[in-house]
Chain A
Amino acid sequence: MSSTEEFDVTIPSDTAKGREVQEQIVGGMESRGYAPRDVFGVRLALEEALVNAIKHGNKMDPDKVVNVKWEIDEVHVRVVIEDQGEGFTVCDVPDPTDEENLDKPGGRGIMLMRSFMSVVEYNESGNRLTLEKRTDVESDDD
């Protein structure tokens, strides 16, 4: 049993920098022996979340930054991504799986995050996202 490691990184509004952070987090999972499927899901969720923060949140503004904090151990990885944008209302994002929206782009990123992560939570203003993957969760509460 090793202890939880914590990281705190602030990056400019640049998706290449976002991908570097993504690699760091995913690399930490791989070195701790997470299952490939979990690594795949977290990588995908981080890609969507970081692109959202940089493109939709900060609107690629070079004067704005994205803060990424994460903690990781053998059974869980928890990532908090905060941008300096105006935020958004999650409920306003259309359901991409509705028949009428099926052939429209948009909304799929959040849906993929929800599907692959154990926890996906936005703060009220919508500019801070918490993502968590747990491999030790049981289906029943407590």
Chain B
Amino acid sequence: MSAGHRRLDIEESGDVTIAKFVDKKILDEGNIQIIGNQLFALVEDEGRSKIVLDFSNVEYLSSAALGKLITMDKKVKAAKGKLRLCTVRPDIYEVFAITKLNKLFDMRDNLEQALEGM
């Protein structure tokens, strides 16, 4: 049952955790809640501190999803870890740029660049 609700694909590269969003659209409130909980668990329950969020599947996301990403950033910083975002489509990047969140987040063009020097 719970596997059906998995909204992140998790992979590891050395000591870095790569969390790839499964959904094309991160809009639904319930979905965003689950994604948030799964993200926060990476830091709080599993003690992971180097995390790359891979957006290659994501075509839409709302401001509610941005809120979760901001909270995630705070949690990773509190754990003295590193959080990077990668493979964000131009449309979605514009959403980050408009809200100036591209200044808050460390955003990289692709996964390879995101893993560099992590």
B95 at the interface (CB under 8 A from A): yes
Range class of the B interface residue count: 20 to 34
Give how many A-B residue pairs fall within 8 Å (CB-CB): 53
Are A112 and B67 CB-contacts (below 8 A) given A37-B91, A51-B62? no
Per DSSP, are chain B's interface residues mostly helix, strand or loop, or mixed? helix
Task: For A97, list chain B residues within 8 Å (CB).
Answer: 99-100
Judging by beta carbons under 8 Å apart, are B74 and A51 in contact?
no
Contact bitstring B63-77, A, C-beta under 8 A = 1, else 0: 110110011011000
Contact bitstring B25-61, A, C-beta under 8 A = 1, else 0: 0011100000000000000000000000000000010
8 smallest beta-carbon distances between A and B, as pairs? A105-B67, A108-B63, A97-B100, A109-B63, A115-B98, A108-B99, A40-B91, A47-B62
25 residue pairs bridging A and B, Cβ less than 8 Å apart: A15-B29, A19-B27, A19-B28, A40-B60, A44-B60, A44-B62, A47-B62, A51-B29, A51-B62, A102-B100, A102-B101, A103-B74, A103-B104, A104-B70, A105-B63, A105-B66, A105-B67, A109-B62, A109-B63, A111-B98, A111-B99, A112-B95, A112-B98, A112-B99, A115-B98
